[in-house]
């Protein structure tokens, strides 16, 4: 189960992105829902506004889609466009969609009922309820279950079409990565790089004698040695630093290298995130500098925040209902929070996951290693905090976050991050060209504009 928790296929990731629109529509809006710029579709006369090959696009379709897009923009706290801009854009989107769906069906692509069932299950899990509740909310929002499933089928079909006709053609070569990295290294000399440094300052008074300076330097070197051994830097700041930034763990903030003293930049330019520089001497005293963050515009981050968590997994089935599993995990949480039970012991005795033997410990994990619903809950926890029971596609989890850390990407990981970024860029370009070509090859007749 641990292995399956860590693996999440690209197909499911892509489909989850497609389903996100529907999932958002099932959540309580974060902002008050304003009146849409168009009247409800049910109050309008229906008529054909366009024909794509032999398939009509009706005024009702356009208005329903416009209302959905409007609600999504409101929920995202984005200003919706005027109806005179929204309706033509929605119509063009529906034309492109119908042309692509027709191409998919004409070339033999199909969607199995099991794939639609899995889509429903994924959306339900992401919203923390079961499929029956999902369907009730769909009906409450004015759509039949069959219409909802038809939309999911279309989403899956479009995804498969794009995987076949677009994604398979996009390649990122090692030469592409090398060229991109060379270009970014050249940009480094322009001062575009931003860094966040943490410092320990051992201050040296202007009137200090040579003996006093030597003693202060020894103090700074002790702090440096402990920092390089991996001692908590914020604790070292509190113990050694004479600076005024003790509350921030000595961090000076993410800013352009041009806004840091040249001495600091020279000492840290060649360092990776997490590295500690050689001792730096300035008129103020001795500085111990640690690279907390390093950002270059256009380049993937050179560090990631890793989390170490443990969990207890209960899998509902014939002998254990979902409600019973939830009650059991809720009781476990109460015991752990009250210091009446040890989380690791509970995991070893109860968890139905391969990590049970390790007390539920999942080890250090980088972003993207767990399924989204698990990772989103874990990311909201503070170290030591225990979650409420969480439903995922694997069962019900109780999660405890142990600790977090910043970790530098290895050169190989950096190249893979660049590869993924370049691939996304090429995919966007390839998809736009492909979609325009599909649209151009379709017979489209525009009739009366939508109202």
Structure tokens at 143: 């759509």
- The last residue of a domain, from among 295, 320, 335: 295
The answer to whether residues 143 and 235 belong to one domain is no
- 209 within domain boundaries: yes
Residue 124, Cβ density class (10 Å: 0-12 exposed, 13-18 middle, ≥19 buried): buried
- Is the pLDDT confidence value at 58 over 60? yes
For residue 364, give the CATH number of its domain: 3.10.50.40
Mean pLDDT over 39-65 rounds to: 82
Q: Give 451's pLDDT tier (boundaries 50, 70, 90).
A: confident
- Give me the phi and psi of 286, to 5 degrees please: -105, 135
Last residue of a domain, one of 267, 295, 323: 295
pLDDT band at 81 (very low <50, low <70, confident <90, very high): confident
Is residue 100 one of the residues assigned to a domain?
yes
105 and 8 within one domain: yes
Q: Are residues 108 and 6 in the same domain?
A: yes
- Asked if the structure places residue 420 within a domain, the reply is no
Claim to verify: residue 291 and residue 314 sit in the same structural domain: no
Confidence of residue 92 (pLDDT cuts 50, 70, 90): very high
Look at residue 153 in the predicted model and tell me its pLDDT. Answer: 94
Does 138 share its domain with 203?
Answer: no
DSSP 8-state secondary structure symbol assigned to residue 380: T
**What CATH number corresponds to the domain at position 12?**
1.10.4030.10
Q: How many domains is the chain partitioned into structurally?
A: 3
Residues 350 and 265 in one domain: no
Mean pLDDT of 93-102: 95
Three-point CA angle 384, 385, 387, nearest 5°: 140
State which of 246, 271, 295 marks the end of a domain: 295
Between CA 31 and CA 226 the distance in angstroms is 49
Residue range 144-177, pLDDT digits in tens: 999 999 999 999 999 999 989 998 888 999 999 9
What mean pLDDT value characterizes the chain? 83
Q: Within a domain: residue 177? A: no
pLDDT score of 309 more than 80: yes
Q: Is 180 inside a domain boundary? A: no
37 and 159 co-located in one domain? yes
Q: Where are the alpha helices (DSSP H) in 338-403?
A: 343-350, 372-379
pTM to 2 decimal places: 0.57
Question: Could you read off the pLDDT of 367-421 as tens digits, one per residue?
Answer: 888 888 898 889 888 889 999 998 888 889 999 999 988 777 778 878 888 888 8
**399 and 327 together in one domain:** yes
CA–CA separation, 74 and 78 (whole Å): 6
Residue 360 maps to a domain = yes
19 and 133 housed in the same domain:
yes
- Domain assignment present for residue 187? The answer is no
Residue range(s) defining the domain that contains residue 223: 193-295
Are 245 and 388 contained in the same domain? no
- 417 occurs within a structural domain: no
Mean pLDDT is lowest, of 37-41, 140-144, 300-304, for: 37-41
**111 in the same domain as 79:** yes
- CA atoms of 370 and 301, how far apart (whole Å): 20
Side-chain half-sphere CA neighbours of 212 within 13 A: 9
One domain for residues 33 and 125: yes
């Amino acid at each position: 189960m641990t292995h399956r928790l860590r693996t999440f296929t690209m197909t499911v990731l892509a489909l989850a992105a497609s389903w996100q629109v529907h999932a958002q529509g099932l959540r309580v809006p974060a902002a008050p829902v304003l009146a849409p710029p168009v009247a409800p579709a049910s109050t309008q006369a229906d008529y054909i506004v366009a024909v794509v090959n032999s398939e009509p696009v009706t005024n009702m379709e356009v208005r329903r889609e416009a209302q959905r897009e409007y609600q999504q923009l409101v929920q995202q706290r984005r200003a919706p466009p005027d109806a005179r801009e929204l309706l033509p854009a929605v119509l063009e989107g529906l034309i492109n969609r119908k042309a692509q769906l027709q191409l998919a069906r004409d070339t033999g692509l199909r969607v199995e009922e099991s794939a639609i069932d899995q889509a429903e299950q994924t959306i339900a899990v992401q919203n923390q309820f079961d499929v029956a509740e999902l369907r009730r909310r769909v009906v409450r929002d004015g759509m039949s279950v069959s219409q909802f499933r038809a939309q999911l089928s279309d989403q899956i079909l479009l995804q498969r079409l794009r995987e076949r006709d677009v994604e398979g053609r996009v390649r990122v070569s090692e030469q592409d990565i090398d060229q991109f990295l060379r270009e970014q290294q050249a940009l480094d000399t322009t001062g575009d790089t931003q860094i966040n440094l943490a410092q320990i300052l051992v201050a040296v008074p202007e009137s200090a004698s040579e003996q006093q300076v030597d003693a202060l330097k020894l103090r700074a070197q002790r702090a440096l040695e402990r920092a390089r051994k991996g001692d908590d830097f914020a604790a070292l700041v509190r113990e050694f630093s004479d600076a005024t930034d003790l509350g921030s763990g000595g961090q000076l903030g993410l800013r352009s290298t041009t806004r840091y003293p040249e001495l600091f930049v020279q000492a840290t330019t060649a360092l990776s995130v997490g590295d500690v520089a050689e001792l730096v001497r300035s008129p103020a005293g001795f500085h111990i500098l640690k690279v907390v963050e390093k950002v270059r515009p256009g380049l993937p981050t050179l560090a990631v925040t890793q989390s170490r968590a443990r969990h207890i997994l209960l899998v509902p089935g014939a002998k254990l209902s979902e409600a019973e599993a939830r009650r059991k995990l809720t009781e476990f949480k109460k015991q752990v929070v009250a210091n009446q039970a040890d989380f690791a012991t509970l995991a070893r005795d109860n968890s139905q996951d391969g990590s049970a033997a390790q007390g539920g410990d999942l080890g250090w994990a980088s972003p993207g290693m767990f399924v989204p619903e698990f990772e989103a809950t874990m990311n909201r926890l503070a170290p030591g905090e225990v979650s409420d029971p969480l439903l995922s596609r694997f069962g019900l989890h109780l999660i405890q976050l142990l600790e977090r850390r910043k970790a530098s990407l290895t050169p190989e990981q950096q190249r893979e991050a660049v590869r993924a970024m370049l691939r996304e860029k090429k995919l966007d370009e390839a998809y736009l060209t492909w979609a325009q070509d599909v649209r151009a090859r379709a017979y489209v007749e525009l009739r009366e504009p939508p109202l």
